[in-house]
């Protein structure tokens, strides 16, 4: 506009003439409301369009389908790799703008990263996992919250909650079920962690609510499963003392409660309560120092001692190898924070469900034919007899 040497009134005419229907309508309305002041109208139009079409929420909602609907790549369509790389580069560029940093902060967690990784071929996913194991990844965050049943909000319990996006279900210890008098029949389920898979049983509970200590936020919890294998380390429990020890977290120290020695870790919140994992804002300092994230239940502090799927050691014992749940060997201690609940394993579906299996006799016959069936030099085929072992002709 400046290069054309136009005045505000002429600029209004050009915008309304060449813009699309939606933008034209916004411009026309603001122009009518400021008929005697075209300069003000121009300023308000640009502010309106910026808020309407360039807001963080609009940008995120426009990019979200591009990521979710992106096809899973194979090794045969390498050209599509560039499209996925361009999409990742676009998001990385947007995240550098402070205006969009909070909305796109979830791409710093495994939830956001996995949206891209799961689009890659399996072989590349394996390479990515091997490389990523050398960096800090998303680990459980711990927050102090109130929990109560929706029918009795006055009867509550204060507990530490482990926010773990590596787990697919929400779990609670036996102490939680006993406190609220849940004596339902136990049902079996499969608990899978880095240490392996095993069948266990537990009670179920529903209708509970988690609330932040200040009451500003609350979450309706889906079905809770009884499990006493919730990680119980206290390395990452946030406190005002820890926050005040770092310059980049001093301003939020008053928002974080002191450690409550009377409260225990009794709830693990998995991905089935996805809102609990939303990052509203964060405080990031220099490399290798803890950082803070504000989630719906409050502020959490994440340290740099966890490597994601396993924890680092200063001394590695080369005489002992740990086999992770995915079959990969490692010299590092498995992380007990990654959990997966699998219900009713007997009803699992596989790609071989509709394929008819061979009988023992059929397999024996195939083995005989594989070892004794051949073609002679004169072109005739020779088959062994009999077709069953240890049977006389």
Arithmetic mean of pLDDT, 75-79: 80
Q: How far apart are CA 273 and CA 25, in angstroms?
A: 40
Closest alpha carbon to 293 in 285, 241, 166? 285
Q: How far apart are CA 323 and CA 332, in angstroms?
A: 10
pLDDT exceeds 50 at position 106 = yes
| pLDDT tens figures, 309-330 | 444 444 444 444 445 555 555 5
Lowest mean pLDDT among 25-34, 116-125, 191-200, 269-278: 191-200
Confidence of residue 234 (pLDDT cuts 50, 70, 90): low
Q: Which of 43-52, 159-168, 326-335 ranks highest by mean pLDDT?
A: 159-168
Arithmetic mean of pLDDT, 225-239: 80
pLDDT exceeds 70 at position 165 = yes
Lowest mean pLDDT among 153-162, 284-293, 360-369: 360-369
Residue-range domains of the chain with CATH: 8-53 (no CATH), 56-132 (no CATH), 141-311 (2.40.70.10), 357-393 (no CATH)
DSSP single-letter state for residue 353: T
Rounded to 5°, angle at Cα 106 from 84 and 325: 80
pLDDT exceeds 80 at position 282 = yes
Q: How far apart are CA 106 and CA 115, in angstroms?
A: 11
Q: What share of the chain is helix, strand, coil (3-state, %, to 5)?
A: 35, 20, 40
Identify the pLDDT of residue 139.
64
Q: How far apart are CA 301 and CA 242, in angstroms?
A: 8
């Amino acid at each position: 506009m400046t290069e054309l040497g136009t005045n505000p009134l002429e600029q209004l005419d050009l915008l309304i003439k060449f813009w699309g229907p939606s933008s034209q309508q916004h411009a026309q309305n603001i122009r009518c409301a400021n008929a005697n002041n075209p300069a003000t109208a121009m300023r308000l139009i640009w502010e309106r369009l910026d808020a309407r079409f360039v807001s963080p929420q609009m940008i995120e909602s426009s990019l979200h389908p591009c990521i979710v609907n992106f096809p899973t790549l194979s090794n045969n369509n390498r050209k599509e790799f560039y499209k996925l790389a361009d999409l990742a580069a676009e998001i990385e560029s947007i995240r550098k703008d402070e205006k969009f940093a909070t909305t796109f902060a979830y791409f710093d967690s495994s939830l956001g990263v996995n949206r891209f990784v799961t689009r890659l071929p399996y072989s590349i996913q394996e390479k990515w996992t091997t490389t990523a194991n050398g960096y800090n990844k998303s680990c459980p965050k711990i927050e102090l919250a109130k929990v109560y049943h929706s029918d009795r909000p006055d009867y509550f319990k204060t507990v530490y909650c482990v926010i773990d996006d590596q787990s697919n279900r929400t779990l609670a210890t036996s102490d939680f079920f006993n406190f609220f008098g849940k004596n339902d029949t136990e049902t079996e389920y499969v608990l899978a962690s880095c240490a392996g898979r095993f069948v266990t049983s537990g009670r179920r509970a529903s209708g509970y609510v988690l609330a932040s200590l200040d009451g500003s936020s609350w979450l309706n919890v889906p079905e809770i499963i009884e499990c006493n294998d919730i990680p119980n380390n206290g390395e990452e429990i946030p406190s005002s003392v820890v926050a005040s020890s770092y310059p980049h977290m001093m301003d939020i120290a008053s928002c974080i409660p002191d450690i409550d020695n009377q409260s225990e870790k009794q709830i693990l919140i998995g991905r089935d309560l996805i809102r609990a994992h939303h990052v509203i804002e964060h405080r990031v300092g220099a490399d290798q120092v803890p950082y803070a994230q504000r989630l719906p239940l409050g502020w959490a502090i994440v340290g740099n001692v966890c490597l994601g799927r396993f924890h680092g050691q200063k001394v590695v014992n080369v005489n002992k190898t740990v086999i992770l749940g995915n079959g990969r060997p490692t010299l590092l201690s498995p992380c007990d924070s990654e959990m997966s609940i699998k219900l009713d394993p007997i009803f699992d579906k596989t790609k071989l469900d509709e394929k008819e299996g061979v009988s023992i006799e059929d397999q024996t016959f195939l083995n005989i034919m594989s070892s004794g069936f051949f073609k002679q030099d004169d072109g005739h085929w020779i088959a062994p007899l009999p077709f069953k072992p240890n049977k006389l002709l």
